[in-house]
Structure 1
Amino acid sequence: MFRAGSTLKWFKDNFSQFQVNQSSEGNKNVYDMLANEASTIPPGSEGLLFIPLYIFRKGTIHGLGWNHTRAHFIRVIMESACLGAQMCLGVLEAIGGRKVSEVRADGGAMNSQLWAQILADVTSKKILIPEVKGAAALDAAILVFYNTKGYESLNNAITNMIRFTDVKEPIKQN
């Protein structure tokens, strides 16, 4: 979700000093606290829409009403990142000429149960979250084992070396 986390980090740095202080005092993860806030808002953020322009480090908020709270902003940041991922997935499916039924996702956003569920809902795909996070070293090991004939195929190496600890199924109502 290319730079999706940077928007939530920006929000945390600029609008969540109280939560940052609380998290350090209570030994809590500030992003878990933000996700808890976002979980109180229904899917669709009650009409709020955020359009990030990552390349310009800017964005636009549409549909802002008196009913919207900071929890709405947190949720809409998560939703917009997932909508961006859906667009990228659509392009990849078009180029590849076939639809995928599942997405294997990694990165900071997938540490959030809520964000992973939003991704499943927005893409209408099963989301598989690997046991090993930030798996660049594991990816390199897979290629080494495959190239040294430790596995007969790259697919076999991937299947045997990557384990998934969480699966999110899309919720159609969302």
Structure 2
Amino acid sequence: MSYVLGIDAGTTGIRAGVYSLEGELVAQSYTEFPSYYPHPGWVEQNAEDWWKSVVKACNSAVKLAKAEDDIFAISVTNQRETIVPISKSGTPLARAIVWQDRRTVGEVRRIKSIMGEEVFRITGLKPDPYFSLPKILWWMKNYPEMVEKTWKFMLVHDYIVYKMTGNVVTDFSNASRTMLMDLNKRNWSDKIAETFGVDLDKFPEIGNSGEVAGELRNREIEIRSRPVVAVGGGDQQCSALGLGVVEEGKVKSTTGTGTFMIAPVEKMHGGEMIYSAHVVPKIVAEVSIFTTGSLLDWVKRSFFQNESYEVLNAEAKASGVGARGLMVFPFFSGAGCPHWNPEAKGTIYGLTLGHSRGDIARAVMESVAFEVKTNIDLMESLGIKITELRLDGGAARSALWNQIFADVTRKPCLV
């Protein structure tokens, strides 16, 4: 029997799954890796930690499935925008700067002042520390010698594929999140590169998701067959594909660390929306709300330390609609779409001695749902048709949160 091995390189760890050709999950394994916070607003990871976790998770999943001789293909999906400089010998020259990192506010101002709306017209993106270009400009300003030594800037997908095959390739869904890809021409943008002095030779070739990137050559992954490694895609676009969100009308809404919405469209509609490449030959309107599930996790760690999410959900449900007048502005790592304010701060408003921890949890859930509604309203005002939401991510395990999404958005929500 033949199997495929899928690798999901998330923000906090690596999940490896062995699947039958019919799509049935046979075995899976998960391994976490650390993030580092050297200064307020900074978030870094070690690319070698990604690889160690890939090896551990893959070997465990393959062993559980008893599939060492039967894996015929591997692919990777990944946290996007996170980027690392790699030397010609394949060594990381610095820790990767993670998508959550907010140190590049100055670089974002520079991008806005020099190119203004032209960046959006080329890339579909609004200048924000979220994307890869400001991170590269920060390195160019602060560590020019390191940038000079850099052979390739790699996204998480690119580094893992490189470690497996020795080949350097990215895909359109990932490249479109760097703020260096021309979304309409589907190649690296000479205009942006020339404007900011970025050397495009330091970036991978862009391929289509599903194309063969090479054979598995790294023997640290204990697979005796010689599977091909296919070009993968960004986690949000792959999630949309898995949920069947490939045509206009359906919207994928994933709430994990943040909330990320994807709506397939035929063209860019403008406004405060951003646009990226799908893993199928389409473009998508995207919404990014940076602190949602992570904010509820903060509530749990702060107020429900030794208790389960079941207890948190029960107390949030008991709080009732409106969280007894408590409001949360969920901008604890800046504000994404449609506000695009990297300096925004989170707020818990209306807190009194009479409020409970369940009220705070409920207010967080409602605040996220209203941010989702704000973006649905924006999409519809731009002429993007929305008939239903398809929910996934960790939050989709909460029946209460799912119901709040449905009540607030007044859209059918499929889980």
Please tell me the TM-score bracket, short chain as reference: 0.5 to 0.7
Alpha-carbon distance in structure 2 between the residues aligned to 1:119 and 1:77: 12
**Is 1:83 the equivalent of 2:361?**
no
Match of 2:323 in 1: 45
Tell me: CA distance 1:54–1:94, structure 2 relative to 1, closer, same or farther (3 Å): farther
Deviation of 1:58 (Å): 4.2
Question: Kindly tell me: are residues 99 and 46 of structure 1, through their superposed partners in 2, closer, same or farther at Cα, counting changes over 3 Å?
Answer: farther
Number of aligned positions between the proteins: 118
Match for residue 309 of structure 2?
A: 31
TM-score normalised to the size of structure 2?
Answer: 0.27
Q: Which amino acid aligns with 1:104?
A: R
CA distance in 1, matches of 2:371, 2:393: 15
Question: CA offsets per residue over residues 19-42 of structure 1, 9 Å max, x none?
Answer: 1xxxxxxxxxx2222111111011
Q: Which string of whole-angstrom CA distances, capped at 9 and with x for unpartnered residues, describes residues 145-172 of structure 1?
A: xxxxxxxxxxxxxxxxxxxxxxxxxxxx
Q: Which has the larger radius of gyration?
A: 2
Residues in 2 aligned to 1:83 and 1:102: alpha-carbon distance in whole angstroms: 16
What amino acid maps onto 2:309 in structure 1? Answer: Y
Residue type of the alignment partner of 1:121: D
Matching of residues 49-128 of structure 1 within 5 Å = 49-56=327-334, 58-95=345-382, 97-128=383-414
- For 1:35 and 1:78, the matched residues in 2 are separated by 10
Tell me the C-alpha RMSD between the 2 structures. 1.8
List gaps (5 residues or longer) in structure 2: 1-258, 260-288, 335-343
Partner in structure 2 of residue 135 of structure 1: none
The Cα of 1:94 is off from its aligned counterpart by 2.0
SS in 2 for 1:7: helix
1:4 aligned residue: 292
Give, as a single letter, the amino acid of the residue that structure 1 aligns with 2:388: E
Residue 15 in 1 paired to residue 293 in 2?
Answer: no
5+ long unaligned stretches in structure 1 = 20-29, 130-174
Q: CA separation in 2, counterparts of 1:9 and 1:58?
A: 17
C-alpha separation between the residues in 1 aligned to 2:301 and 2:354? Answer: 24
Deviation at 1:55, TM superposition (A): 2.6
Distance 1:105 1:54 in 2: 23
Report the CA distance between 1:105 and its aligned residue.
1.3
Paired-residue identity, % = 40
Residue equivalent to 1:171: none
Pair 1:13–1:121, CA change in 2 (3 A) = same
**Equivalent residue, structure 2, for 1:146:** none
RCO greater where, 1 or 2, for CA within 8 Å and sep 6 or more?
A: 1
| TM-aligned CA distance change 1:55 to 1:17, over 3 Å | closer
Identify if the C-alpha distance between structure 1 residues 70 and 107 changes in structure 2 by more than 3 Å, giving closer, same or farther.
same
Give the residue type in structure 1 aligned to 2:302.
N
